[in-house]
Amino acid sequence: MRWKILIALLSFALLISNAQGQIYKVKKLKGDAQVRHGARENWQKLTSGDTLRPDDTVILWKDAYIEIETGNSIFKSNGGIILNISDLRRLSKEELLLQLAFEEMRNIPDVKSEGQSAKSTGIYGSEISKKEPKIKEAQNLTHFWVGGVKALFENGFYETASIRAKNLMFKFSELKDNLDLKILVATSLEKIGLYGEAIAEYRKIISGSNDENLNSKLERKISELKSKIASNEDKH
């Protein structure tokens, strides 16, 4: 299993190598925000007009607002988020499935310890932590990471939103069974057109839920997706 993780990591590095030189620009900023460059522990004040690179991490405090130019689009978000700039990118379905497969491997009990040590700032930006040193008394910022994932989803970055959501559920024990993140993953896959994978995620939610209303809704969703799959097969 160790060699599979190594291959996945090497593949990820190749996938993002072309994006490392990309520069993002803060087009608009209101309120308090800070940026960390790479794996550095020190945070600096972020201002409108600043440029950002894929290895940067941004924290936007509550009551703030930001707009980041990402090439052909503008990422917009209110405060209460932590965002790895490397997540502001599009992936092909093949690239997405590869990274999701890696997240699944890391959740297998006998490779969890290996997955924990398989860190790459190139893939995920700076290492995720509940407590970011020297920031607002190092409060627990898990909910800021969740806010960042939701902002990615709302801006249409479905691929990286689903990957980041999986990563958060792996990293933080309190998010392991987070329903919002699980539904976000399934919905992201559905929006991308990966209906079979979305069905698998919806089924995982149903298997762990005692909410009959939720399960009923998800069963209907699964039926709809099965119909779409059948329709696509008929076209081919």
Highest mean pLDDT (candidates 41-45, 102-106, 130-134, 184-188): 184-188
Q: How much is the mean pLDDT over the chain?
A: 83
pLDDT tens figures, 134-184: 555 445 789 999 999 999 999 999 999 999 999 999 999 999 999 999 999
Local structure of residue 23 (DSSP, 8 states): -
Domain boundaries, the chain: 2-192
Tokens describing residue 72: 């052909």
Cα separation of 127 and 33, whole Å?
Answer: 19
Claim: this prediction has a pTM higher than 0.85 = no
8 Å CB contact between 141 and 78: no
Residue 70 CB contacts under 8 Å (≥ 6 apart), including other chains: 24, 88, 89
C-alpha span between 108 and 90 (Å, rounded)? 27
State residue 118's pLDDT score.
40
Q: Which of 130-152 are b and which e, b meaning 16 or more Cβ less than 10 Å from the residue's Cβ?
A: eebeebeeeeebbebbbbbbbbb
Residue 29 CB-half CA count within 13 A: 21
From the list 121, 202, 104, 187, the residue with the least C-alpha distance to 153 is 187
Stretch 6-14: mean pLDDT: 52
CA distances from 147 to 34, 81, 82 (A): 16, 5, 7
Provide φ and ψ at 134, rounded to 5°: 65, 25
CB atoms within 10 A of CB 71: 12
What is the DSSP secondary-structure string of 67-87? EEE-SSSEEEEESSEEEEGGG
**For the chain, what percent of residues have pLDDT higher than 90?**
62
